[in-house]
Amino acid sequence: MSTSQVEDREAHRPVLQLRMRVNDESVQLRCEPRTSLADALRKDLGLTGTHLSCEHGVCGACTVLIDGTPQRSCITLAASCDGARVTTIEGYADDAVMADLRQAFHTQHALQCGYCTPGMLCTARDIVLRLPGPDSERVRNELAGNICRCTGYVGIVNAIQLVLQHKQDGALPMPQSTTGLTSNPGLAQQATSEIQDWPSFAFDGVEQWLRVDRELDFAIPAQALWQRVADLALVARCLPGASISQLVGSRAIGEMQIRFGPMQAQFAMRAELSLQPALQQGEMRAEGSDRRSGTLVQTQMSYQVLSHATGSRLRYDLRFRLAGPLAQFSRNALVNDYVSEMSRIFGQNLQRADSAEAVAQLPAETPSLWRIVWRRVTRWLQG
Ligand code: FES
Ligand code: FES
């Protein structure tokens, strides 16, 4: 795994090497497995704007964005953020919503000692992005996880309502990108900023590539099939468990959720598609990490669209490898069946996706372990 573990020879303690993107800069960290994200940010990176108070996940002072979602950095292990995008209070220099919130906190007297303020602003910004208008009751409920010992909250609620009013009036430019700086991903969102180059995860080289090749037949002409598989957003929509939060040209950032028996993972992913339209061939490279387990995944899929008696055929060759705690599942023979089941659902979705309405109504079907096991048993019984 890239979260490579070396030994601190003097202290005889294991040390992890982590990579993450903090405030839009790639950083590398060496820390112990027990190091919290808050400590890593404050002590290793000098980002002391992240405040620590209760250190038990109760007060919200340490709230930062992890992959676009506000989270407590005091009870988040730094190791679980390997490959993640982290935004601290120092990382909003060009953010219009945060600028308006800062101003509103000032004019509405929303802080006194200021200790809760970095975490409060992080949560406030998330509230502004999600709520349609200045509903005081809702704002108060949403702030339940952030404790302020000084202000009595009136100024804080007023400040957030003021910014929500600006949003409702159309006076506040809302961010387009959902990566790192919003928490409302959606397929149709198109970012105007670029998805920057990202250092690739360093696999040790010992992880085995697993390979699966398949053919799927479709009852649509090859040209129509090509148009669908050349559309990265549509491919993600048809793939069970996948979602895109940012899409710029041929690059995308999103998530892949996998639930397969005891294995549950939510990989933060980035993907890049390269196409050769003249040959109706494409290649998609993707990689990501599961924050909970620290497992890394890399995939490479090359595919080609062909004319066929049924209409068209999609031939693909998928290679993938896992590193980390969940890698044990990649050695399981059931994984082959899992990929086949994913493939079946993907093909079914792609076939149906002939209009925007049809795409919107695609079912959220995911591969079922029990169905896979049942098929195996049936095959076995039939000899
Ligand atoms: S310091 Fe993290 S929630 Fe209180
Ligand atoms: S301003 Fe002091 S704790 Fe909130």
Q: Are residues 246 and 313 in the same domain?
A: yes
Task: Please choose from 112, 143, 154, 157 the residue to mutate so as to test ligand 2's pocket, defined by most ligand atoms within 8 A of CB.
Answer: 112
- For 109-141, how does the pLDDT look when each residue is reduced to its tens digit (9 = 90+)? 999 999 999 999 999 998 998 788 888 988 998
Domain that holds residue 66: 5-91
* Position 256 confidence tier, pLDDT thresholds 50, 70, 90: confident
How far does residue 59's CA lie from ligand 1's centre (Å)? 5
pLDDT score at 244: 83
Q: Residues in the chain, how many?
A: 383
How many domains is the chain partitioned into structurally?
3
Q: Is residue 174 part of a domain?
A: no
d(CA 33, CA 17): 10
Please report, for the domain that includes residue 154, its CATH number: 1.10.150.120
Same domain for 273 and 221: yes
CA distance 340 to 235: 16
Q: Is the CB of 149 under 6 A from ligand 1?
A: no
Nearest CA to ligand 2 atom 2: 113
Both 132 and 163 in a single domain? Answer: yes
- Is residue 55 pLDDT above 50, yes or no? yes
Domain endpoint, select from 114, 147, 168: 168
Any residues with Cβ below 6 Å from ligand 2, and which?
Answer: 111-116, 148-151
pTM of the entire predicted model = 0.51
Q: Which residue has the higher pLDDT, 382 or 36?
A: 36
Calculate the average pLDDT of the chain.
81
Q: Which of 239, 270, 231 is nearest to 254 (CA)?
A: 270
205 within domain boundaries: no
Q: Is the CB of 59 under 6 A from ligand 1?
A: yes
Q: What is the pLDDT of residue 132?
A: 81
User: Do 255 and 156 fall into the same domain?
Assistant: no
Rounded to whole angstroms, the Cα distance separating 189 from 175 reads 11
Which of 36, 50, 62, 71 best tests ligand 1's pocket when mutated (most atoms within 8 Å of CB)? 62
Ligand 1 atom nearest to 59, measured from its CA: 4
Does residue 103 sit in the same domain as residue 59? no
219 with 328, same domain: the answer is yes
Strands 210-218 and 242-248: unpaired
Are 102 and 248 found together in one domain? no
7: its two tokens: 């030994």
Give the pLDDT of residue 368: 65
Domain end residue (candidates: 31, 61, 91):
91
Listed residues 66, 91, 116: the one ending a domain: 91
pLDDT at 3 over 60: no
pLDDT for 192: 35
Instruction: Please give the pLDDT value at position 22.
Output: 94
CA distance linking residue 213 with residue 340, whole number of Å: 9
